[in-house]
Each structure stands twice: as structure tokens, then as C-alpha cells.
Amino acid sequence: MSEATANMKRLLDRLAAEDEGLADPTTLTPEAGRALATLTNMRWNADLPDVAEARTVMIADLPARYVVPHNDAGTDAILHVHGGGFAFCSAATHEGAARRLAIACRAPVLTIDYRLAPEQPYPAGLDDLQDAWNARAPERRWSVAGDSAGANLALCAMLRLINEGAELPAQALLFYGVYDANFDTPSYLTYAEGPGLTRAKMQRYWDWYAPAGARNVETVAPLRASDAQLRALPPLYLNAAGLDPLRSESEMLAARLHALSRTDPFDLIDGVVHGFMQMGSFLPEARHAFDKAGEIFTTRAA
């Protein structure tokens, strides 16, 4: 057993004990499921990394958390989109991730609270992200980052900006993203029952976010983007978790980019589950993943 696999197993065993008897949040009403997901995700904010500034702000009428690291290089900033299946989580649940991202990238991170499904399905969250992008402060060079559903929204927002001929982010960091609604990929079949995220959970998330008939456009399922649209994207960094139903989607996106002669780096982190970068207070592989993303970001930003 690899060290990463052993670390992940210890943490999964701990979570199984802590969460014994709790329902799957996606089987509850959206309101109840969201409340439960918030409570369980807040544990990832233990031992928050120290930063120079962390405060709540408003941008485009959206609440957001603005985090400035002590090592801020003074030139760049990142608009960060949290994951949670388009339906759960918030800037608060992703505070630890935002701080680690800010420190690794030597740049302030702004995490928005966008509208959530199913009460506000597609395109509400995407509209909120684009509004926040349009309201960004001009003093910095802005990039985007997102995990899981947040990576979907970040990528879809860039595709929408391409369609509109608007200014794009300088670069994008996309972590174990949701890029399609094909539930028969190799990883969906291999990891249908987890550990962690399952095929059934993702099907429910998609049902909440976008009905089956609305999933064929690139601003919902970005793997449907044309080659021309993918060529027009800014430099990307992709990663994927080895034990993840969504793994194949990142692999497919990376392969398409490579076939277009793009040089976007892609890392597959073996032995970890979907959402592992939330677990930075407990999981070394999460901290290493932020360090790798930061290395790529700062090299490009120099």
C-alpha cells in the first residue's frame, strides 16, 4: 500500500466513525442536505493557515471571502469557485482551501457565494460567477480557480467569455472537475460506490443543476466545447483524484487539450478520493497538491 493510500485510508476510517448514522445529504431535502453538508465540511477548517487578512466582502451583490497571504507578490489575484455539486458548500466551508491556495500562489483569493441548485439551477451560479468576474478590481491581474463543480463553473465561465469575445482570466487552476454528465465513463463504473463521492450522488447533483435535456451545451458540460473554444482558453492546470468517479472526465479533457498541441499540465494524484484538497489540515497529499498548483501559477505569473 502506498503512503498516499495509507494516509487516505486512515482519514476515511476516521470519517466513517465520525459520520456514523448520518444520512447521505443528497437524499434529504435540499435545505436539510445543505445544512448537513455545511456542518460536515466545516471540520476541514481546523488549524487554518495564518494569513495577513481574511474578511467578508461583497462583489456584484454576492457575499464573498477575501483572503490575502503574508507572501502576497502584489500583482495577481484569484477568483475562486467552491465545489459542492452545484448545490452545497460555500465560501465558509472552503476557507481552509482558499487560504492554502492564496499562500501557494502568493496572491489574494476571493471566494464567492454563488446561488445554488436546485432552488437556483443553471445558469444562476454561472451568471453569478460572470457578474463577479466583470466586477473584479482592476488593480490586479486576475485568474480563476475551482474544485469539482467549482471547476465546472470556472471553465464554463471562460467558454462563455470566449463566446462573447470578452477578456479572459490570465490562467486557471481546475481541481478534479465536473466536465460532463456521462455516467458510464471508466471511472464512474470503477468507483460507482465510492469511496466518498458516488455515481448516484453525482446523478442527483446533475438532476438538481440541469435536467437531462439541458446538458448538451458547453456552458453546462464543458467537454462538449469545440476544439476552437478549447484552443482559445488561457493556460490551464488540471488535476484529478485517483479514486474518483470523475477521474475520467479530467483525463478526457487533458487528452483533448494535448491533442490540440496545448501544454496544459495535468496531474493524477493516486490513492486519494474526490474532494481531497479540502482535507489539507489532515492530509499531506492535499497540501502537496496546493504546492504544485502554486508552483505552476507563480511560474506563469512571473
Give Cα 298 distance to the centre of its chain.
Answer: 19
By C-alpha distance, which of 85, 93, 105, 99 is closest to 25?
85
- Identify the pLDDT of residue 19: 97
In this predicted structure, the answer to whether residue 233 has a pLDDT above a threshold of 90 is yes
pLDDT at 215 over 90: yes
> Would you say residue 202 has pLDDT above 90?
yes
Confidence bin at 167 (pLDDT 50/70/90) = very high
How many residues are listed for the chain in this entry?
A: 302
The per-residue pLDDT for range 76-115, each reduced to its tens digit, is 999 999 999 999 999 999 999 999 999 999 999 999 999 9
Q: What percent of the chain has pLDDT over 90?
A: 99
Q: What is the mean pLDDT of residues 140-160?
A: 98
**Number of neighbours of residue 178 by Cβ within 10 angstroms:** 31
| CATH superfamily name and code, 3-301 | Alpha/Beta hydrolase fold, catalytic domain (3.40.50.1820)
Local confidence band at 1 (pLDDT 50, 70, 90 cut-offs) = confident
All 3 cell numbers of residue 102? Answer: 492564496
45-69 pLDDT per residue, tens = 999 999 999 999 999 999 999 999 9
- In the chain, the DSSP E strands lie at 53-59, 62-68, 76-81, 109-112, 141-147, 172-175, 236-243, 266-273
Give the confidence band of 40 by pLDDT, cuts at 50, 70, 90. very high
Across the chain, what does the average pLDDT equal? 98
Q: Which residue has the cell 479540502?
A: 278
How many of the other CB atoms lie within 10 Å of CB of 47? 10
User: What are the extents of the domains in the chain?
Assistant: 3-301
Per-residue confidence band for 2, with pLDDT thresholds at 50, 70 and 90: very high
Parallel, antiparallel or unpaired: strands 109-112 and 62-68: antiparallel
C-alpha cell of residue 238: 488540471
Most distant CA atoms of the chain, gap in Å: 51
The pLDDT score that the predictor gives to residue 21 is 97
Q: pLDDT (tens digit, 9 = 90+) per residue, 269-300?
A: 999 999 999 999 999 999 999 999 999 999 99
* pLDDT higher than 90, residue 301: yes
* Cis geometry, peptide bond prior to residue 211 (ω within 30 degrees of 0): no
Angstrom distance (rounded) from CA 61 to CA 234: 27
Stretch 225-247: mean pLDDT: 98
CA distances from 158 to 81, 152, 153, 192, 229 (A): 13, 10, 9, 30, 9
pLDDT category, 116, cuts 50, 70, 90?
A: very high
For residue 103, the SS3 value is helix
Residue type, 48: L
Tens of pLDDT, residues 178-196 = 999 999 999 999 999 999 9
Predicted TM-score (pTM) of the model is 0.98
